[in-house]
Structure 1
Amino acid sequence: MQRLRFLAALWAGKLAALAIRLLARGRGTNLPGSLALKIDPLFLQHLRGTDPARTVFVTGTNGKSTTTNLLAHMFERAGYRLAVNRQGANLTPGIATSLIAHTSPFGRVRADLILMEADERFLPITAGQLRPGHLCVTNLQKDQVQRNGAPDIIYDKLRQVIRRDTVLYLNNEEPSAGSLRALAERTVTFGVEQNDKSFQKPGPLTTTVPCPFCSQPIRFDVYNVDNVGPFCCTGCGYASSPRPDCLVADVDYENGRFSVDGDPYPFGYATPYFLYCYSAAVAIARAFGLPPAVIASACADFVNIGGRFERFALGDKTVQYIRMKQENPETLQSAINHIAADPAPKIVVLGLGEIRDDYPYYTNTFYTYDCDFERLEASEVTRYLCFSDTVCYDSAIRLRYAGVPEERICIVPSNDGREVLRALDRQQGSNVYLITLLRVFEELVAAAKGLAGAAEG
């Protein structure tokens, strides 16, 4: 009876996936898996041909999608057949959907390797059915407090999943992720050497994180990205290793190059944030025996999924989009750092918004006060535009606290793409940076195309 239920779930999922391909290509990354799990709640567990030694999960707060997609590109360049969730559908239904696409009609997974981005909060549920023999933790940081609570809650969830025989790939320079090394017999650490874009924080923003062992403050020697860098606990002495197993060194942002153990690698996404994704992917690829030449070849032509760093035109303006995760100060700070590194005069468009995961919707912008907007203000920003139908004034107030004069802030109390773009078009300057959510960015791109079409007509 159980076997029949599983097969019914599998075939229902396959039929749903076929219907989506025919009627709404590019959508439905969760629906087939959701349907299969509704019929058979242990669907993943009942798949045949899975093996923990050939199952890799990538989890953590930030960098999961990029690391997974880069790693998939490396494995495919080496000739692997992969089952992978490229679009970032990282909850159990999304992972089930990806596996349905790589499973025979009788339930056997047809892949050399299962590689999945896995949501950190739901990892115990997913791993309870599909055990990963290899687990990469990119970082554990503040994120979506109304959903995840404190990072310690996520930390405890990861501890539930890790077994002594799990091979861990851990960020050497993020204290919480790095501390998980004590739970497994084999650990591969990855990190990034101090480089031209490493930085110190000014006094008011030197708040740190507690040591995962003794709860005393962690002291960072330098930051490669926000709250990630070489560190030492002021209490028990817990510290990052000066020589992780995979160290990205000799970073050349201008020419897009770095090295690992003397082997050169190109990288097209030449920002500090992405360096840790490259470091993690190289660490895992090397652990699986991929040759440096194959890894370098994959790095050279890797194209990330959309919505990380994109551009679109608005009249004579070039709008450069930098994605942030709502309620995530680390990704917002990374965006600020990237913009502040541009010495040219610029307009900054800030489109924070509400969280619609649950009702009532959540509009708290507390996380912006963890970020160094003063650094942005010191970088030749000529004009700010804050838009949102809920929190545009909250964004403007944060800028005022950073010392931005009121007359340099334009407020648009709307999410209407055309209204926002018309307000932007009235601002003087052609160099524009946009920080907002991916969904809002896509709406603005569509609005820009509509305005361009209307102008041509």
Structure 2
Amino acid sequence: MKKLFTIIVCKVLKFVGGLLGKGSSLPGQIALKLCPDILGRIELPKYIVAVTGSNGKTSTVEMIAHILCESGKKVAWNKEGSNQIEGVTTLILGSCTLSGKVKSDILLIESDERFAKYTFKYITPTHYVITNLYRDQLTRNGHPEWVYNAVKESIHPETQLILNADDPLVSCFGYGRDNVVWFGAGNLPTDTKDFVGVYNDGAYCPHCKSPMTYSSYHYDHIGNYECPNCGLKRQDTSYTVTSADLEKGEITINNKYKIELTLKSLYNVYNLLAAFTVASITGVDGNTIAKSLSNYVLKNFRVVTFTLGNRKGTLVTSKHENSISYNQSLKLAASDKDKCDVLIIVDAVSRKYFTSDVSWLWDINFDLLKSDNVKNIVLAGTYCNDLATRFSFSKVDRNKIKVIKDIEEAVDYLDNDRKEKIYVITCFSDKGKFLEKVKVD
């Protein structure tokens, strides 16, 4: 009776919350108070796929769900993005019968990397995707190795790990473990022999702390690495991006499956590859997956196209306090073959907590915007002068930079008769402040 009552309460609260447009964590929070071990009392489906990591969780989960649903499978997943234990509880109880059986073929869970150990106390994923572990939100996450230890506590021995082979810290989860599926990128035309960036988190082996060597870098510290001391190295991959033409917007997986990209970023390619891997493991044909992913447009508003007067633009949501996320967004703008303007907004560091710490700006490689196609760079928001100070230490032409604190004034400045595209780079907390002033396509 306690299980039944808890399920009913959660379903009712979720329904009411949906009508009111409220978040999806409260029903689960109440359910856990009524029955703390409720997740251990639910009958789960054959496949339980979990996804965690510093970046790309939401996009990867959305693409996995899209592929599986298109292939005829019934999927329960936390599309609202509430990825801590309360939100996951809402997802599971909202998807099960009153007797406590999840009605879907596959339970797909996006999990916050720091709190996964609580979510998976009563749930054992059959497959566990770990996308990457980067410097991310120092105030909340500390060092990536702290997050590594938190994630490690969430891993069950019987779970099959699906790991990014190109991330040395992520690869440590598979060190000495057999039940691992590896995904990654092969040799690509955009690779570099030398490290390119402000700092190098791959300089030392995360396993034994000895100097590590790289034969090539895909971006930042993601690449083909090996530790001469302990033997940690990039593993051979079962699912591989064997070719990539980002200018054309096309990749090939395992020399066979061609996928056309809407977002021409190697950063996004890893999310796509992780989704391809999961769908393959759960029984979907490779050609079917490739068809589902080709030209797929994410619905999570991480990338938004807009119109400002006569000008077209793309807003790329990049996590404040996460330099690798920013670097990839900057690279996307700088690599556009057409001329463009770039607007960078830092008006609030976080939507979840208050901090005025902008030290993370110094980890970002703003030199990427030293590109002939970038004509104007506008710095806006409360921290525009901190941005300007950071840019003063970059190699970007000072004449290209304009500082406008007021976001509306910055939008008006860009609303002109020029035809060049606009790239807007900002965070979840600030993107709405820009989008409300333009026409979203």
Using the size of structure 1 for normalisation, the TM-score is 0.89
2:44 maps to what in 1? 50
The worse-fitting range, judged by mean Cα deviation, of 426-435 and 277-286 is 426-435
1:173-217 CA distance string (max 9 Å, x none): 100111211364310000012223334556773623331221123
Q: Equivalences for 1:257-296 in 2 at 5 Å?
A: 257-268=250-261, 269-296=263-290
- The residue aligned with 2:137 is 144
SS of the residue 2:28 aligns to: helix
Say whether the 8 Å CA contact 2:152–2:173 is kept in structure 1.
yes
CA distance, structure 1, for counterparts of residue 197 and residue 82 of structure 2: 38
- One-letter code aligned to 2:7: L
Measure, in 2, the Cα distance between the counterparts of 1:303 and 1:407.
35
Deviation at 1:99, TM superposition (A): 1.7
The alignment status of 1:29 with 2:24, answered yes or no, reads yes
1:130 Cα deviation after fit: 1.8
Q: Deviations over 1:251-276 (max 9, x none)?
A: 23355443333322323333211111
Amino acid at match of 1:422: D
Shift of 1:147: 0.4
Do structure 1's residue 444 and structure 2's residue 434 form an aligned pair?
yes
Q: Deviations 1:85-104 (Å, cap 9, x if unpaired)?
A: 12322111221222233111
1:343–1:379 CA contact under 8 A, matched in 2? no
What TM-score, normalized to structure 2?
0.92
- C-alpha change, 1:401 and 1:153, in structure 2 (3 Å) is same
Mapping 1:168-183, distance limit 5 Å: 168-182=161-175
Alignment match of 1:154 (pick from 140, 147, 153): 147
- Which of residues 51, 54, 58 is equivalent to 1:65? 58
Give the percent of matched residue pairs that are identical in Structure 1 and Structure 2: 26
SS for the counterpart of 1:28 is coil
Corresponding residue of 1:368: 361
* CA distance in 2 between partners of 1:203 and 1:69 (Å): 31
Q: What's the counterpart of residue 77 of structure 1?
A: 70
- Residue 410 of structure 2 corresponds to which residue in structure 1? 420
1:13 counterpart residue number: 10
How many residues align? The count is: 439
| 1:329 and 2:329 matched | no
Structure 1 residues not aligned, in runs of 5+? 451-457
Which of 391, 394, 407 is the aligned partner of 1:402? 394
What's the CA shift for 1:43?
Answer: 2.7
Following TM superposition, by how much is the alpha carbon of 1:365 offset from its aligned partner in structure 2, in angstroms?
2.1
Q: In 2, are the aligned partners of 1:355 and 1:362 still within 8 Å (CA)?
A: yes
In 1: Cα distance, 2:162 partner to 2:197 partner: 33
Q: 2:220 aligns with which of 197, 209, 226?
A: 226
Flag structure 2 segments of 5+ consecutive residues without an equivalent: none
- Residue number in structure 2 paired with 1:96: 89
Distance 1:396 1:202, change over 3 A: farther
What residue is the counterpart of 1:195 in the other structure?
188
SS at match of 2:313: strand
Q: 1:244 maps to what in 2?
A: 237
Question: 1:427, CA displacement in angstroms?
Answer: 9.2
CA distance in 2, matches of 1:326, 1:341: 22
Residues 367-409 of structure 1: CA distance to partner in whole angstroms, max 9, x if unpaired?
A: 22222212212343222211112x1111111111103454432
Q: How far apart are the structure 1 equivalents of 2:250 and 2:420? A: 29
- What is the RMSD computed on CA atoms of the aligned residues? 2.5
Does residue 114 of the first structure (1) align with residue 111 of the second (2)?
no
Contact 1:233/1:239, CA 8 A, preserved across alignment: yes
Q: Is 2:295 the counterpart of 1:305?
A: no
Q: Aligned AA for 2:327? A: Q
Partner Cα separation in structure 2 for residue 262 and residue 382 of structure 1: 38
Does the CA-based 8 Å contact 1:218-1:232 persist in structure 2?
A: yes
| CA–CA separation in structure 2 for the residues paired with 1:183 and 1:54 | 25
Please state whether the residue corresponding to 2:425 is helix, strand or coil.
strand
